[in-house]
A and B are shown apart, each in its own frame.
Chain A
């Protein structure tokens, strides 16, 4: 199909990567964002890049080591992950995961306490052991979103910030333009990658996209001495040591919320930071004296099965919907590639992503959120 001009709704990491991939293919791209690129969950997450559950996994792994060079801007990608067990039950679970990786052909090594401490000196004698993933890694979300945005601009793409999308113009079964309060952007194709705002936007096109927004929290410490391995999870936490040395960690219960068409009104963190702190102090007993200097929250949307929705619709047939269902940052190099393929070729060239089609929810019950308990407290 010819798509000489594509409008992307949403300057989060998924929309920006899609825009960058399209611009690399010579497409004229305009990204519209309600505020500043990467301002929501795309710039607030744990930065992990090890998503073996995804059909996009191989492409994620192939691309991350090249991203800094491809984009031309720093992304702080670091290789490798470790997951450390702090209870007997976790140790059982993590070894199960290690066996699964062996079966799937992903290189992992099960380590005892001493071996864990060699790679992760902040870990204590209280850990049961760890599983070292010799794949995956992490990157700096804030730096990476800006890198995508700048790289996209360097290829001639446009980023229009502070411009919430209000609606669409359609003709002949296609979207012909995307509207903001002050302008109308004509297009040959549209990518709707607006996170929690996707359902409201797609409803305007008569398309039901089941997504529920929630809020999750993270904390960060002052810098710690750099560890040989910086992508360390475990004890039901996820996170990373930044290249500056800070320990940035999240995990724990989320809060389901409602988000209207204008996006989250606030992203408050809560005293849950104390529970993140206690777990982090147990995971890294040698860092327990370090100061926590910030906490924050982000809003992510989830599909009913927790898997992404990446789909070029049949009607309107020039619309591609993209939600990564709360796990978007790490997969972004690959999700952008997949979206580029869907927009230009109608099909992903490097992986079978049929499982991510929107039609899997055609028979979803209307009260799917209530059934799952995914409703906000009223």
Chain B
């Protein structure tokens, strides 16, 4: 077979990508107070500005605890997207001010990926952000991106946490304030730092019962004035204890049992031990990030065209070591719960299987497999959460590891007896929100890209059966399949 090289690989991506639908000098992701302020300020400085916010979140996503740990405690009102859109808009008067200033606002719009040229990719037309609403996805070019994505809930595992009614503090606050759609009545709060205290006071203010706070350390952890307010409201803080288990029925949690043996009736257990800055987009775009224990975890390290504001840039630094605090919780919870406690809800991975680096139960575990564990794996090198994920499937599910990634990292640090900071951050990948195939799909593909599409590299000699090389069949193969498909 004679090959005529033209200097061009028709199956390479070079020059085949489409152009983005729009360009903005500044795109702001997240319309909380920090995002609105950043967008308004940029607009006032004469820039073209797009402000996107994923709220209202679809009921389906909420059910998967994305992006916050909603724990199935939303009212049916969250299924009504028009009502939720109105609720979200009305809850943020500053949105109207930003729009009046000329900021373009898209609610119900997710930023699922940020892309720019760099190591390993040089074919993008410009810096891009991928957006999606309930109907479709599209790409927008930008000069500067401001991430105001807030912080997400730290989830913690205990027996019974995988049922409705166990939820995070950020999700509870969101349902109480922006959505007015919380379905619980009586809440037990885990934690006693500012987040837990503020959440308890908010719940009380909204007319809910607070059954108490549980604190793993010996004394309440938050600001003295908040502790005083909580105590003045008659809410007890049970210190030196953790939760041992939660029991429930078809509607979820009905009671919690503490490690001291006390049983507390409640329909909601709010895990208010910590928030984690939402850096999914930064990590998925291979942006630099650093671990900062007093600001809640990994935070964006900053780049010329990428900035972070609000909780995404790190929780307010009060000197409190969030990593040490949540590790104390993790250690105590592990000490009082059985090894078969589920850590990854999506993939039903238990702590024993995680630490045993065992495969899921639908696979065979022959004797050599059973003999393997984290301990044997550590002889080959330090623990890496992405490797553990591949072996155990912990973090591989539809919640994209939101409920378990922080716990897995803490457990690996505890089991390896190394500082938390030496455990690499498990990778985030686009789309940073689960997105239906038909929504993510590019239904207006450029003709150049269609023409370049081959199942693999399009090398005409690569898939010629060895028996056919040098025969007439080789030419037939090329005539039928070249520039089309190489099987």
Contact = CB atoms under 8 A, between A and B. Distances in A.
Chain B binds chain A: yes
Interface stretch (B164-172, B245-253, B464-472): B464-472
Interface string A83-94: 100000110110
A244 B346 CA distance: 11
B449 interface: yes
Interface residues of A, number: 96
A43 B391 CA distance: 11
Nearest to B448: A253
B454 interface: yes
A264 B120 contact: yes
Contact of A53 (B384, B397, B463): B463
A142 B387 CA distance: 9
Interface string A135-149: 000000011001001
A36 B7 contact: no
Interface string B361-372: 011111111001
A222 B13 CA distance: 27
Interface string A224-241: 000000000100111000
Contacts of A193: none
Contacts of B14: 255-256, 373, 377
Interface stretch (B146-154, B234-242, B434-442): B434-442
B466 A237 contact: no
B436 A373 contact: no
A264 B120 CA distance: 7
Contacts of B384: 36
A270 B115 contact: yes
A278 B441 contact: yes
B462 interface: yes
A373 B400 contact: no
B22 interface: no
A37 B377 CA distance: 11
Nearest to A105: B467
Among B118, B437, B442, which residue has the most Cβ atoms of chain A within 10 A? B437
A326 B359 contact: no
Interface in A337-374: 355, 370-374
Contacts of A67: none
Contacts of B463: 53, 306
Residues of A contacting B: mostly = mixed
B286 interface: yes
Contact of A268 (B121, B396, B453): B121
Contacts of B393: 244
Interface in B1-31: 5-14, 16-17
Contacts of A205: none
Interface string B109-134: 00001010011111110001010000
Listed residue (A68, A267, A278) with the most chain B CB atoms within 10 angstroms of its CB: A278
Interface in A264-317: 264-275, 277-281, 287-297, 299, 302, 305-307
Contacts of A189: none
A207 interface: no
Interface string B289-303: 000000000000000
A89 B484 CA distance: 9
A25 to B, nearest CB: 19
A8 to B, nearest CB: 15
A302 B380 CA distance: 30
A289 B438 contact: yes
B449 A253 contact: yes
Nearest to B368: A72
B360 interface: yes
A52 B484 CA distance: 19
A370 B7 contact: yes
A264 to B, nearest CB: 6
B466 to A, nearest CB: 5
Given A270-B121, A370-B7, A83 B431 contact: no
B196 to A, nearest CB: 31
B122 A277 contact: no
Given A142-B390, A371-B5, A377-B14, A278 B115 contact: no
15 contacts: A76-B363, A96-B480, A161-B380, A236-B485, A254-B11, A266-B120, A275-B449, A277-B440, A278-B441, A289-B437, A291-B434, A297-B120, A327-B456, A371-B5, A373-B6
Given A244-B393, A266-B286, A293-B400, 19 more contacts: A36-B380, A36-B387, A54-B466, A72-B368, A74-B364, A89-B484, A222-B397, A236-B485, A252-B452, A253-B11, A265-B119, A271-B442, A274-B441, A277-B440, A299-B120, A306-B461, A372-B5, A373-B5, A374-B12
Interface of B: 5-14, 16-17, 113, 115, 118-124, 128, 130, 137, 139, 285-286, 347, 359-360, 362-369, 372, 380-381, 384, 387, 390-391, 393, 396-398, 400, 429-431, 434-438, 440-443, 445, 449, 452-457, 459, 461-469, 473, 476-477, 480-481, 484-485, 487
Interface of A: 36-37, 43, 52-55, 57, 68, 72-74, 76, 83, 89-90, 92-93, 96-97, 100, 103-104, 142-143, 146, 149-151, 154, 159, 161-162, 214-215, 221-223, 233, 236-238, 243-244, 251-257, 264-275, 277-281, 287-297, 299, 302, 305-307, 325-327, 355, 370-374, 376-378
* 6 pairs of A and B residues whose beta carbons are closest in the complex: A306-B462, A306-B459, A291-B434, A373-B9, A72-B368, A278-B441
